[in-house]
Amino acid sequence: MDGNGGNHAAGRLIGYARVSTKRQTTEQQIEALEKAGCDPIYSEKMSGKRDDRPELAKALAEVGPGDTLVVWKIDRLGRDALQLLTTIKDLKDRGVVLRSLTDGLDSSTEIGEMVMGMLALIAKYEVGLKTERAEAKRALLRKRGGNLGGRPKRFDAEAAAAIRRAHSNGESIAGLARLHGACRQTIYRVLESA
């Protein structure tokens, strides 16, 4: 057992650092990971929303049972709770401990387990909210007679000419979109194709 109540196996400490933009630097994170004893350390400059983070993939491939993946802050692993939870669950299933230096999170401790349980609830809530929002948007589009996805509405030459005339007579893009059951981008495309 370690000082936090966890039971770390004598494995390796592997670090992962990430910043979201080219203007930011990973220096502070790497310095903290080195101080924690991590070797190797993988780092990249890439948005957390992206699923194709090659250095994270390398770090995840590097860790094995008994190892610890160390991050400067838990949000370095992903932007939303579902993405974080998926990564954390994968690590736990593989016998890998996750430690976050600034958050004080350590998945081998009871408190770490509790935090992960809370993350699971947040992730479930987020998924529910996204589904609810998507359904509300679809219902609104159905009510307005809008496009529910797929290809944007196409207009024949006569309808496109009528849209252009109405716009030149002062009709707004939003008004034309409502009138023709199309999105604004489609109306802009019709106007640009003149």
Name the residues annotated as catalytic.
20
**CA-to-CA distance for 35 and 89, rounded, in angstroms?**
26
13 backbone dihedrals φ, ψ, rounded to 5°: -105, 115
CA torsion 21-27-33-36 (nearest 10°) is -150
Look up residue 76 and give its DSSP letter. G
Q: Bridge partners of 47? A: none
Q: In what order do the strands lie in the sheet with 41-45?
A: 41-45, 13-19, 68-71, 97-100, 105-106
CB 152 within 8 Å of CB 183: yes
**H-state helical runs in the chain:** 27-35, 54-62, 81-93, 110-144, 157-168, 173-180, 184-192
